[in-house]
Structure formats: C-alpha cells, structure tokens
Amino acid sequence: MKPVKIGLLGLGTVGAGTVNVLRRNALEISRRAGREILIYRAAARGTWACDTTDIPVTEDGFEVVNDPEVDIVVELIGGEEPAKQLILTALANGKHVVTANKALIAKHGNEIFAKASEMGLMVAFEPAVAGGIPIIKALREGLTGNKIEWVAGIINGTCNFILTEMRDKGRDFDAVLQEAQAKGYAEANPTFDVEGIDSAHKLTILASIAFGIPLQFDKIYIEGIGGVTRMDVEYAEELHYRIKLLGLARRTEQGVELRVHPTLIPERRLIANVDGVMNAVLVKGDAVGPTLYYGAGAGAEPTASAVVADIVDVVRTLTSDPENRVPHLAFQPQSISDIPILPIDAVLTAYYLRLSAEDKPGVLADVTRILANHQISIEAILQKEPLTGESYLPIIMLTQKTQEREMKAAVAEIEALASINKPVKLIRMETLG
Amino acid sequence: MKPVKIGLLGLGTVGAGTVNVLRRNALEISRRAGREILIYRAAARGTWACDTTDIPVTEDGFEVVNDPEVDIVVELIGGEEPAKQLILTALANGKHVVTANKALIAKHGNEIFAKASEMGLMVAFEPAVAGGIPIIKALREGLTGNKIEWVAGIINGTCNFILTEMRDKGRDFDAVLQEAQAKGYAEANPTFDVEGIDSAHKLTILASIAFGIPLQFDKIYIEGIGGVTRMDVEYAEELHYRIKLLGLARRTEQGVELRVHPTLIPERRLIANVDGVMNAVLVKGDAVGPTLYYGAGAGAEPTASAVVADIVDVVRTLTSDPENRVPHLAFQPQSISDIPILPIDAVLTAYYLRLSAEDKPGVLADVTRILANHQISIEAILQKEPLTGESYLPIIMLTQKTQEREMKAAVAEIEALASINKPVKLIRMETLG
C-alpha cells in the first residue's frame, strides 16, 4: 500500500521531535498503522534539531498545504496566525489535519471544526493538551459511558516545577522562575505560563469535550501563580495541603465552573503528589469514579508521541475497513512478532532478602561472601533486634540487580548455612524509574 | 436513525451496572455516539440488581447471539465456557462483540480475534483490564508513536486492598483477607486474586498490545501475595519502599519478561501510593517517557464505564462516515449544549486565608464575626508567632465551602479593620474527593 504523505509545518522543538520519533520508530509505527508514514515535505525557518535528509524544506507553509500530494498536514508552528489560515487552507484542499496548537483550538476551534465537518475531514489535537498524556482520547473515547462531573488538571509544567521547587527547597517564586528560565523549562517571556493563560487554553478544550459545550476561552476565570509566596506554601504544608496551579471545570446545576488558579489540595490525594514538570489530569465520571492520567506535559518527544498517535489514528481511519479500524492486539495481525518470553531465571531484577540468623559473629560475613561469589552487590543492610524470646535475629538486605538464577543459587547456599533458619524470604524490587 | 440493538449476556455485577449506566446516562451517551443504544434483550439466571422493564430476559444465551435483530453482543458472564462458544457464534452470525472476560481473552483471544478478522468484525475488550481505566485505548491508540519499553500494573484491587491494610494497620495477611471477604472485596474463593492469576490474565493482554506479540498466558511467571508477611511490609517501609503485587512486562534484548509477583517499589513513586482497591498502570514509552493511568479496577459501574465506552466505539464506527468517526469535541456537533459558564463570583469553593494581624486581644473575634455574618464556617485556624522584628502576626484560616461573592465581601470588611494589614491573602482550596 502507498505510504501516507505528511506535510509538516514547523521544525521547532515538537516538529524536530516528531521527525526524530517517526524515523526512529518507523517500523513499530507502521506495524501499528498498517501503512508506512512518510514525511513528504516540511516548512520551517532557521535551524532545526533533526535529520531532514530526503525531506524538502521550504520557508513557505502555504506551499505545503497546497501540495496535492500531501495527505495529512501536521501543524506545529503555534500561535494564531498564520497557523489558522494554513489549517483552513489545508482543510479546503481536502487534507486531514493534526495540530498541537492549544491557543488556536481554544480560541478558533469552533470555526476550524465546522470547516472540517463540512469537508468530512479529521482535525486531531491530542498534543494540544498535556503533551504526551492521551487525555483527549481518554475523555472523548474512553469515558463515553459517563456523565463527567468535573475535570481537574495540573496542565502547565513550568508552574508545577516552580511550585514544587518552592516547597521542596523553601525558595522564593522569583528565584525559582529565574532558574527555570536558565534551564529552559520556562520561556524567556513566561507570562503565558505563570499567569495561567496556557492552562486556560488547555482547560477550555478539556471542558468542551468533557461536557459537550462549545469552546469558550473568554469565559474562564484566570489567576496565575505570581502571588503565591513561600510562606503560603509552608503554611499549606503544615495544614497537610499542597498548592498547585489547577485548571478546574465542574458541572453544577446552575452551569459550568471554569477556572484556573492556585489551589490547596489535600496532600494524600495522588494528584497532590505530581511534582516537577510533570502533568496530570483527574477526571470524575459518575460511573467510573475518579480516574487520573499522568505523564510529561511538554517537551520534544513526549509531545511528538501525541502527534504521532493522532497521525496513526488518521491513517487507521483512512486505511482500515471501517469495521476494524484499530487492530485487536494494537499491531496489524500480520505484524505480530514472536519475540521469546524469558523464563523467570533469566530475569534481571533487584531483591529484598529477609534472613533469620543466629546472633553470633561471622554469620553476616558468610552470607556476604556467598553473595559476592555470585557477583551480587548489596545496596543496604538492616539488622533488627531478635524478637522477644527468640535467639534468631532478622537481617534484611537490598541487593542491586542480578539474574534470578544467580540469586536462587546464592539463596540455596545461604539456606545451607548452619546459622541460618530456612527459608530465606525473597521479594523482588523494581525502581520503575 | 435506528437505535443500535444490544444483546446482553449476563446480569451479574457488571451486567446490572451496564444496564443502570446505559439507562441513567442514555441522553449523554447518545449525544456522544450519535445514535440511541438500546438493550434489546438479555440472557441471565437468578436475580439481578437492575431494572429490566422492556428488556426480555431469557436463560439461554444462544437465543441472544442467534437473534438476527441483535447488532452487538455484550458478554459479561465470565469464565471460559459457554462464553467462548457464545462469542464465536455471535461472530459467525456477523455481530460485533464487547467482552469483559479477561480469562477468555488471555487464553483464547488469538482464536477469537482470528475469527473476528475473518468476518470483518470488532471484538472490544476494554473492561477486561483494570475496570474503568481506559488503558487498552491508551496503549493501543494513545501511545502508537512509542516503542513501549515496559508496562507495570497494580491490576488486582483485592491484593492491593490487602497489602494496603497490612501496611496501614499493621495487620496480618489472613486477618485482612477474611475482612475483605466479609466486605465483598474478595471472592469467597480468593485463589484467582491472591495467587496472582487474575493479574496474570490482565498482564497477558497488556503485554500483547504493548509489544505486538501473541497472547501467551502460559509463559507468565506467577507468584501471589500469600507469602508476604506483616514483617516484610514493615521492613520495606523502614527502607522507604512499598510492597505491591505488580504485573510487569519488560522488553529486553533477549526477549520479553512477563511476571506477576510481590514487588518492592520506592515510596516516592506515584504508583507506590496507589492504595486500597484502586488500580494503576505505569507505561514507559521511548518517546513519551513514563505515563500513568489510575482508577477503579473493578466494581459494577467502573467496569460498566468501560463496557459502554466499547459499545460507543463500535457504534461510532458503524455509524459515522469513516473520515469522522469520533466527533472533534467528543459530542456530535448537533448535540453541543450551551450550558452557562458561571462567573467566578458564583463559584462554590473553600478558602485558605492568610491575614497579617496586630497582636492584641479582640482581633480574632472581629474577623470570625465578619465571617460568621457571611455564613462562612471556619475549618481550621493556625496562629503563628510574629516574624522577628514585626508586631504583626500571621493568622491562617481554612474555611468550608462558600460562594466567592460572599468571601469577597467578607474579605473587604476584614481588610477595613484597623488591626489588619491589607491585603488579605486568599487561595482557593479543593478536596477533589
């Protein structure tokens, strides 16, 4: 089957990330999409951080959206104009569109979607909200059985980084903002982020798809994090709360609350523990209850992940027979690969060991020698007092990663020691980092 | 347009939940699906916890799957037989299928999907893994740009409840299990849960769609939580870890690790803080990095949420023109409703107030009187020492929910007090419960 031809607008952070991901994972992606995805041409100015061999790059985006060979236009230039005209032209030319442009969708989405519906085309915008988190898909397709009661999101990584640093290190807003700018987390002009406007763009979109209401950015109440002091962060902590910049959309009997502002959240809530530049969206549905979606809300490849997901969605719709648009097992049936499943003995993991040892000299030396013989490194040792009335004492060890078969052999030798009570308790350990 | 006709197999917990959700949210669901969804008939034995007025109920599932009027068969009876024969018959009769049957998909999915592909039909199984969390959709559609590196899930609520109770209350495994059985969290025969078999069914499915490999339940290493003692839980805590029953699928150069076992996880990880009966799946993609999906993994309505999402997926595919299967704003364009957006003054929320007050008698009385006049109840007060060299002391108050316009009026009066420094700091507070 012919490749699908992408016309890419923009080779900035997300554009270059998209090129890199599409190249690196080309095989994996076409195994899922059922068709090769080709970046046919691109439009950009300046320099870019990706390999554009075989990709003709022009400075004029309209050349791309007017090219009859292009199937899908991917708009990653941001801002309202010329992005809006480029997208409307692409739609007028019968091309599907994928966009990461939250400001554009929040403010002109109603007009763009009307044009797309008129033309029978898709406009996909997963990367516009919360970067790589598939939250649009979750709300629009995953929770369709629910009456959504509310949506609450940490949807600006810069603000969350600043608030996290203020709490963790007891620093002031201005100092952290300067560091964030130096590190590239915050823009040179951080207004959109710290004043809550970026969050409001995203909340506009979330509220619309949660409740089935038009996009209405101009009705959101917006308050940024500029007024949050170190003192407030500390007092909140003392009261067992965390301060987060929250975008909140709630359905009430009177209407819909739409608001972005610094918010105290009880520290025991999962979302209160979303730290640094990470994003999370908490959705309350009447049937499912609370569900939470967490991940990187910005950055080159996380956002590219959402861009590519939208491209694959379009390609699957274009390509598959309608009864079977998404393959049952995610990959096309002829592309399922028979990678071997490893036996547990071949697995590499770390371990928690609990030994019951006689309280006399040399026992620990025997145990550590056995572990060393099997190339197993010890990460931590915890030696406890014997339980009342017992002469054996518990020794707890955390090891570094080793193959399960080495660990089993070592444990068998340890259990053979006269001064050790059988069995040695073994629990695997994963850092999941 | 004609309603889509559902043939429902099973009116147990999830079946009754599905009937209840489809009835209660009928309007919301058809606004999304673009078509009415009708439970045309059902098969069940015994009694059920839902209103079956207008739904003919038979005892013979084959009557349902052989009924030419039925468009979609929803299988919620569980177990391998007769579920498998019912589904294969439904497919042979040209009907799409939605199923919550994890054991069946894990063990016979390859055969069922082959039949579905042959017939050009959909078999949807979102409710089979992690209840209401749309994790199948996230992996299969939301992360298609990624090479998935690993998937780690807390995918059995019973085990997570038991481990959480052991940690929180220092109780023994057996005692907690008995309580869980008494409360209905654990089955009378809890073997499938506590021995890790249920988690292994779900992990089989997750691994297959993450890596594009066949379903191979028989190759999973499985170890349950029966051997985890209160002591291990405590020692792990002391070392800053939590013990969770984890289903883990990891791609390595040698092959795929597939394992279910008790696992130590560093306590600072978000997934280590998923407690009680809740589920969460952590997915590491090479582009997006880590993403996490959290929610209720079982129960009548959470699972029904996933059942209905799958039904809507099928209906959208059957109904929409292929270029436009999912509406841009989640609801069909003609069903967007113009609910009013509330001004911030009409919003109901709780508040954190920080006052800077003269250190003299009567100030607090003045402030609390003003709040009381505005019907604002105080939840907590924190009075701090004056900062060095200052005569004003900070007073922090948490209030109960009140309308913003009342709070603003109260704050204006408080700021007018001679003994209070302007401005009063106000941060909104949300429990998100």
Contact A287 B25 (CB under 8 A): yes
Residues in a beta bridge with A295: A279
Same domain, residue pair A282 and A374: no
Same domain, residue pair A265 and A375: no
Q: Which amino acid is at B389?
A: G
Query: Which DSSP helix (H) or strand (E) runs through A116?
Result: helix A102-119
Could you tell me the pLDDT band of residue A338, with boundaries at 50, 70 and 90? confident
Q: Give the per-residue pLDDT at B206.
A: 97
What's the rounded Cα separation, in Å, for the pair A45 and A76? 12
- The beta-strand segments (E) located in B323-391 are 348-358, 378-383
What count of CB pairs under 8 Å joins A to B? 469
Contact A221 B141 (CB under 8 A): no
In chain B, the number of structural domains is: 3
Q: Give the per-residue pLDDT at A322.
A: 47
- Chain B positions touching A117 (Cβ under 8 A) are 324, 328, 333
**pLDDT digit string, tens, across residues A110-147:** 999 999 989 989 999 999 999 999 999 999 999 999 99
Contact B138 A139 (CB under 8 A): no
* 3-state class percentages of chain A: helix first, strand second, coil last, to nearest 5: 40, 25, 35
pTM higher than 0.80: yes
Question: Which residue of A lies nearest to B150 if distances are taken between CA atoms?
Answer: A432
**What residues have CB less than 8 Å from A288, skipping those under 6 apart?**
A143, A145, A146, B131, B132, B295, B296, B301, B302, B305, B306
Among the candidates A279, A312, A335, a domain finishes at A335
Q: Is B113 on the interface with A (CB under 8 A)?
A: yes
Same domain, residue pair B293 and B148: yes
Q: If contacts are CB pairs under 8 Å, which of residues 64-103 in chain B contact chain A?
A: 96
Q: Give the per-residue pLDDT at A386.
A: 79
CATH number of the domain residue A8 falls in: 3.40.50.720
Please spell the DSSP secondary structure of B170-181, one letter per residue.
Answer: ---HHHHHHHHH
Verify cis geometry, omega within 30 degrees of 0, for the bond prior to A423: yes
Q: Give the per-residue pLDDT at B269.
A: 93
Among the candidates B244, B270, B298, a domain finishes at B298
Tokens of B23: 């009835």
Same domain, residue pair B285 and B154: yes
- Chain A positions touching B273 (Cβ under 8 A) are 270, 273
Contact B265 A431 (CB under 8 A): yes
Contact A259 B215 (CB under 8 A): no
Q: Which amino acid is at A182?
A: A
Q: Which amino acid is at A30?
A: S
Residues in a beta bridge with B250: B150, B257
Question: Which residue of A lies nearest to B423 if distances are taken between CA atoms?
Answer: A227
Q: Give the per-residue pLDDT at B328.
A: 81
Range of the domain at B255: 135-298
Q: What value of ipTM does the predicted structure carry? A: 0.91
Q: Give the per-residue pLDDT at A321.
A: 60
3-state SS, B3-59, equals CEEEEEECCCHHHHHHHHHHHHCHHHHHHHHCCCEEEEEEECCCCCCCCCCCCCEEC
Q: Is B233 helix (H, G, I), strand (E, B) or coil?
A: helix
Q: Give the per-residue pLDDT at A189.
A: 82
- Give Cα A124 to chain centroid, integer Å: 18
Write the residue in B246, B291, B398 that is nearest to A133 by C-beta.
Answer: B291
- Chain A positions touching B262 (Cβ under 8 A) are 427-428
Same domain, residue pair B317 and B232: no
Write the residue in B231, B335, B432 that is nearest to A265 by C-beta.
Answer: B432
Mean pLDDT of B176-204: 89
Same domain, residue pair B233 and B287: yes
DSSP 8-state code for residue A155: -
Residue B20 — φ and ψ, nearest 5°?
Answer: -65, -45
CATH number of the domain residue A214 falls in: 3.30.360.10
Verify cis geometry, omega within 30 degrees of 0, for the bond prior to A82: yes
Q: Give the per-residue pLDDT at B322.
A: 47
Cβ proximity of B242 and B267 under 8 Å: yes
**pLDDT digit string, tens, across residues A188-244:** 788 999 999 999 999 999 999 999 999 999 999 999 999 999 999 999 999 999 999
How are beta strands A348-358 and A392-399 bridged, if at all?
antiparallel
Per the document, the length of chain B is: 433
From B107, B202, B244, B284, the catalytic residue: B202
Q: Residue B18 pLDDT more than 80?
A: yes
Could you tell me the pLDDT band of residue A328, with boundaries at 50, 70 and 90? confident
Q: Is B391 helix (H, G, I), strand (E, B) or coil?
A: coil
What's the rounded Cα separation, in Å, for the pair A389 and B246? 35
Mean pLDDT of A175-189: 84
Q: Is B315 on the interface with A (CB under 8 A)?
A: no
DSSP 8-state code for residue B143: T
A17 compared with B117, residue with greater pLDDT: A17
Q: Give the per-residue pLDDT at B36.
A: 94
Could you tell me the pLDDT band of residue B321, with boundaries at 50, 70 and 90? low
Q: Which amino acid is at B318?
A: L
Question: Which residue of B lies nearest to A140 if distances are taken between CA atoms?
Answer: B330
Q: Residue B363 pLDDT more than 60?
A: yes
**pLDDT digit string, tens, across residues B280-310:** 999 999 999 999 999 999 999 999 999 999 9
Cβ proximity of A264 and B264 under 8 Å: no
* CA-wise closest residue to A249 among A271, A292, A281: A281
**pLDDT digit string, tens, across residues B398-411:** 999 999 999 999 99
B327 compared with A382, residue with greater pLDDT: A382
How are beta strands A420-429 and B256-266 bridged, if at all?
parallel
Q: Which amino acid is at A345?
A: D
Q: Which residue in this structure is represented by tokens 């020492």?
A: B385
Q: Which residue in this structure is represented by tokens 């709360």?
A: A241
Please spell the DSSP secondary structure of B290-323, one letter per residue.
Answer: EEEEEEE-SSHHHHHHHHHHHHHHHHHHHHS-GG
Measure in Å the smallest separation between the Cα of A60 and chain B Cα atoms. Answer: 27
Could you tell me the pLDDT band of residue A329, with boundaries at 50, 70 and 90? confident
Please spell the DSSP secondary structure of A26-81, one letter per residue.
Answer: HHHHHHHHSS-EEEEEEE--S--SS--TT--EES-HHHHHT-TT-SEEEE-S-SST
Residues in a beta bridge with B241: B266
Write the residue in B215, B309, B344 that is nearest to A142 by C-beta.
Answer: B309
What's the rounded Cα separation, in Å, for the pair B156 and B303? 13
What's the rounded Cα separation, in Å, for the pair A396 and B236? 9
Q: Residue B323 pLDDT more than 50?
A: no
What's the rounded Cα separation, in Å, for the pair A269 and B39? 38
- Chain B positions touching A256 (Cβ under 8 A) are 339-342
Q: Which amino acid is at B64?
A: V
Write the residue in B31, B209, B288 that is nearest to A296 by C-beta.
Answer: B288
Write the residue in A131, A256, A308 that is nearest to B339 by C-beta.
Answer: A256
Just list the catalytic residues of A: 202
Write the residue in A235, A259, A309 that is nearest to B347 by C-beta.
Answer: A259
Query: A200-230: buried (b, 16+ CB within 10 Å) or exposed (e) per residue?
Result: bbbbbbbbbbbbbbbbbbeebbbbbbeebeb
Compute how many other C-beta atoms are within 10 angstroms of the C-beta atom of residue B170: 11
Measure in Å the smallest separation between the Cα of B139 and chain A Cα atoms. Answer: 8
Measure in Å the smallest separation between the Cα of A104 and chain B Cα atoms. Answer: 14
The proportion of chain B whose per-residue pLDDT surpasses 90, expressed as a percent, equals 84
Same domain, residue pair B14 and B102: yes
* CA-wise closest residue to A291 among B303, B26, B348, B159: B303
How much is the mean pLDDT over chain B?
93
Same domain, residue pair A146 and A180: yes
Same domain, residue pair B202 and B182: yes
Cβ proximity of A31 and A331 under 8 Å: yes
The proportion of chain B whose per-residue pLDDT surpasses 70, expressed as a percent, equals 99
Please spell the DSSP secondary structure of A326-352, one letter per residue.
Answer: S-TTSS-GGG---PPEEPGGG-EEEEE
**pLDDT digit string, tens, across residues A266-325:** 999 999 999 999 999 999 999 999 999 999 999 999 999 999 999 999 998 887 664 456
Select from B24, B98, B143, B260 the residue whose CB has the most chain A CBs within 10 Å, as the one to mutate to test that interface. Answer: B143
Q: Which amino acid is at A21?
A: V
Same domain, residue pair A307 and A236: no
Q: Which residue in this structure is represented by tokens 């023109």?
A: B321
Cβ proximity of A428 and A398 under 8 Å: no
CATH number of the domain residue B386 falls in: 3.30.70.260
Measure in Å the smallest separation between the Cα of B431 and chain A Cα atoms. Answer: 6
Least confident piece of the model among A125-129, A383-387, B115-119 = A383-387
Q: Give the per-residue pLDDT at B320.
A: 62
Q: Is A166 on the interface with B (CB under 8 A)?
A: no
Compute how many other C-beta atoms are within 10 angstroms of the C-beta atom of residue A393: 17
**pLDDT digit string, tens, across residues B21-37:** 999 999 999 999 989 99
Could you tell me the pLDDT band of residue B325, with boundaries at 50, 70 and 90? low
Same domain, residue pair A387 and A354: yes
Same domain, residue pair A285 and A352: no
What's the rounded Cα separation, in Å, for the pair B328 and A114? 10
